[in-house]
Amino acid sequence: MVAKTKEKYVILAFQSCVTCTCSFDLLMFHVSHDTFAMVISFIDSLWQPIHVIIGIFEVSNTSSEAMANQVRILLDSFGLLTKVIAYVKGERSNLNTLTSTLTFVFFCYSL
């Protein structure tokens, strides 16, 4: 079911993506780990804003290179690795360490 949805809707939506932003939204905060949703946003060829959750991560250390590798693999699987022009993160203290992790993945600045 997930593979069919990905093929039919998500991959099709990304065909018109030239550049995009990536945001990390904190879904849940636990003592032992945090759960983040990775959201890709872009404007399609019809000038409509598109927002797609492409992954959900449960991590205990947001500054680890392991998380950077997960992000890199996920973006590459959608063909988005070179299309991200900015990443957006919340100002919560538990997301601040995400910036150091993302320097391994992106060649742009956080917003």
pLDDT at 99: 65
pLDDT at 86: 82
Domain that holds residue 79: 2-102
pLDDT tens digits for range 43-67: 988 888 989 888 887 777 666 677 7
What residues of the chain score a pLDDT lower than 50? 93
pLDDT at 70: 79
What is the number of domains present in the chain? Answer: 1
Q: What is the largest CA-CA distance in the chain?
A: 43
H or E element that contains 37:
strand 34-43
pLDDT at 68: 76
In a domain, 109, yes or no: no
Distance CA 95, CA 23 (A): 11
In a domain, 107, yes or no: no
